[in-house]
Structure 1
Amino acid sequence: MHDWITAPGGRQEAEDRIAFDTPAPARQALDGTVVAPLVHLGVLDVIGPDAEQFLQGQTSAQVGLADGDFAPLTVFCTPKGRMLANAQLLRVAEEHFRLLMHRGLVPSLAEHLNKFAAFYKADLRVRDDLALIGLIGREAPALAEVRLDLAPPTVWHQRGDADIQLLGHPGPRPRLLICLATKRASALWARLAEQATPVGNAVWCLQDIQAGLAWLTPAHRDALLPQMINWEALGGISFKKGCYTGQEVVARAHFRGQVKRRLVRAQLEGGELPPLGSPVETADGKALGEVLAAELDAYDQAEILAVLSTKEDLGPLSVAGQRFKQLKLPYPIERLDPESLAART
């Protein structure tokens, strides 16, 4: 499945995990520029004359804002407002939208949306023929511009055409995501690796954690409200659009302030990575939250994203026997309208 990256030295450790023998990969991203295969992400396309109208009724994004420049975050919910998947939405051509999300949720979201697509002139296509490559580091924008001949986009914006897309993502270092046909990925990877150090996708996932950006996985499907992963603070919810599935519950939680758990960023005092869903516990063993993502940082300490109770005095906390130290998020917990993000270039 990942021959384009295992051939040049990548080692497949799991279906959604590729590693290289590069020493201290997370530190490489601090000091230089790295390139990573984003095999944990997948693609679902929505194509047809009614694609925009269909998506408008299903997702939290104002779909018309996805104009080939702005590529907003979005989320798909159940009628009870629980998330089925969160994604980045981009327009790659007329009547052609693309959703990037965790690869484990692509089949289930496609199955869910197909129930409604039958009433529209819109087709859903799981794109196993596409590759996703990440660039991280100070020189990443310049490298992308030289190798792709595309001006680097700002965060949550895009450049390119129907054949290749370049997307700006947030993080402590400049980050760019490239989407292109798998048959072209080997050649591009080789050109990028001439000037960027190959690392596994764990480094990209660590940068997501440090950006306070949680991608839903099958472990938490149909379990959380969007606000529990701070999605409205990242511009992932439009409160100015009309109805979509789950909209009433999502809006009520926002306007009545009924969110009792929130996404937090933390470091664990130890190098053991907790499994997804591991409880965040008080000193007496009471679970007040759970882990959504975990990776080792440049100093071999576990950094995590967890959904945690919003009660102010929680006392000492731990995960898998490791002390839990909450870290500051890189954004305020307040509503950020995607309409304002779309205006930024």
Structure 2
Amino acid sequence: MNDWLDRLGGRRKDDTRLVFETPDQAHLAMDATVMTPLVHLGILDVSGADAEGFLQGQTSAQVSLADGAFAPLTSFCTPKGRMLANAQLWRVAEGHYRLLMHRSLVQGLNDHLRKFAPFYKAELTVRDDLALIGLIGREAPAVAEARLDVRPPTAWHQANGGDLQLLAHPGPRPRLLACLPAERAEAIWQSLADQTTPVDNAVWRLHDIQAGLAWLNADQADAHLPQMLNWEALGGISFKKGCYTGQEVVARAHFRGQVKKRLVRGQLEGERLPAEGSAVEDANGKSLGEVLCAELDAYGQPEVLAVMSTKQAPEPLSVDGQQFKRLQLPYPLERLDPESLAARV
């Protein structure tokens, strides 16, 4: 169902990267409006009469907040509180919810949740018939409203236009994600092309890094507490809801201050992209943590998100032989309740 991707004029590097010949893309996204197919992301649907109750017992979100307007971040954990997947949740219709995550996690989460689904009137569906298109730029909201006929929402909210949902993500520039049937994607892409320039989906990933937002992939599952990805600071954990798988561990880590690793943002003094999992080392060569994701910025230097120990360490820090410079996160490291975030318009 992804035939539309082959007709965009880009080239597939692999299943999670589509590249275009557009020059100076990261810099272009700072000044112009760009669009990109979000091939690294995937969708899992949960539907049925008991869909809300089913999700409520499995996810860190207060599912009732996903009301068709608010589209919260969430996570699915093991009984030990380790994240199997982190996702964005939104409601398509009554009894129909949608989960956005890294595409490598979709099938695994589907298989995991199916173990509990027989106890509910709920159905899980891997949606390979949907397309995801990202818009970035100061004029992205105006372009979306003109071309998609949907008024853009605020960050972590959604707007709906028939079979299309438009979601707003934070970042250094306005960002909008359109989810729509794949059969409509090529026509929508061509319509947007009048006012935007196509870029690699690496540009969207770079803006995620600059927003301090890390999406786990299958190789990184079952390794981190949600707080290690700053998930409570992004409104991805409700501490006011009832029990869900892993809730006791997640709550204890929060209320007892037992989070010993945190997501940090940094820039490397070099030009080589480090591999995921590369160690962040102190001046003595001791590993402090590991890189989750990395992309080249507008100046050709790698920007990274890494999960690192909160303890002070002798500097300079380095990754793969390149000096690591800490960059400021765009949000405070403090609890942000999704209940208050939902009220923001």
- TM-score scaled to structure 2, two decimals? 0.99
* Paired position in structure 2 for 1:20: 20
User: Relative to structure 2, which stretch is displaced further, 20-29 or 276-285?
Assistant: 276-285
Q: How many residue pairs end up in the alignment?
A: 345
- Structure 2: which amino acid aligns with 1:257? G
Paired residue secondary structure (2:85)? strand
* Paired position in structure 2 for 1:325: 325
Paired residue secondary structure (1:344)? coil
Cα distance in 2 between the residues matched to 1:104 and 1:24: 28
Cα distance in 2 between the residues matched to 1:258 and 1:53: 30
* Paired position in structure 2 for 1:116: 116
* Paired position in structure 2 for 1:276: 276
* Paired position in structure 2 for 1:344: 344
Paired residue secondary structure (1:118)? helix
Matched, 1:316 2:316: yes
> How far apart are 1:162 and its partner, in Å?
5.6
* Paired position in structure 2 for 1:290: 290
Matched, 1:72 2:37: no
Deviation sequence 1:56-115 (CA, Å, 0-9, x none) = 000000000000000000000000000000000000011100000000000000000000
* Paired position in structure 2 for 1:209: 209
Contact 1:219 1:276 in 2 (8 A): no
- Structure 2: which amino acid aligns with 1:26? A
* Paired position in structure 2 for 1:154: 154
> How far apart are 1:219 and its partner, in Å?
1.9
> How far apart are 1:161 and its partner, in Å?
4.6
* Paired position in structure 2 for 1:227: 227
Cα distance in 2 between the residues matched to 1:119 and 1:108: 19
Cα distance in 2 between the residues matched to 1:71 and 1:82: 22
* Paired position in structure 1 for 2:36: 36
User: Relative to structure 2, which stretch is displaced further, 280-289 or 196-205?
Assistant: 280-289
* Paired position in structure 2 for 1:57: 57
> How far apart are 1:118 and its partner, in Å?
0.8
Alignment of 1:300-315 (within 5 A): 300-315=300-315
Cα distance in 2 between the residues matched to 1:281 and 1:162: 50
> How far apart are 1:220 and its partner, in Å?
1.0
CA RMSD, aligned part only?
Answer: 0.8
Deviation sequence 1:123-176 (CA, Å, 0-9, x none) = 000000000000000000000000111111000000015611000100000000
Cα distance in 2 between the residues matched to 1:318 and 1:112: 37
- Structure 2: which amino acid aligns with 1:225? L
5+ residue gaps, structure 1, are: none
Paired residue secondary structure (1:69)? coil
Paired residue secondary structure (2:80)? coil
Percent identity between the two aligned chains: 72
Contact 1:77 1:85 in 2 (8 A): yes
Contact 1:37 1:133 in 2 (8 A): yes
- Structure 2: which amino acid aligns with 1:337? D
> How far apart are 1:230 and its partner, in Å?
0.1
Contact 1:279 1:319 in 2 (8 A): yes
Matched, 1:137 2:149: no
Contact 2:129 2:182 in 1 (8 A): yes
Cα distance in 1 between the residues matched to 2:135 and 2:261: 32
- TM-score scaled to structure 1, two decimals? 0.99
- Structure 1: which amino acid aligns with 2:75? V
Cα distance in 1 between the residues matched to 2:83 and 2:313: 28
Deviation sequence 1:197-243 (CA, Å, 0-9, x none) = 10010000000000000001112100000000000000000000000
5+ residue gaps, structure 2, are: none
- Structure 2: which amino acid aligns with 1:10? G
Paired residue secondary structure (1:113)? helix
* Paired position in structure 2 for 1:249: 249
Paired residue secondary structure (1:228)? helix
* Paired position in structure 2 for 1:10: 10
Cα distance in 2 between the residues matched to 1:162 and 1:221: 34
Runs of 4+ in 1 over 6 A off after TM superposition: none
Contact 1:92 1:162 in 2 (8 A): no
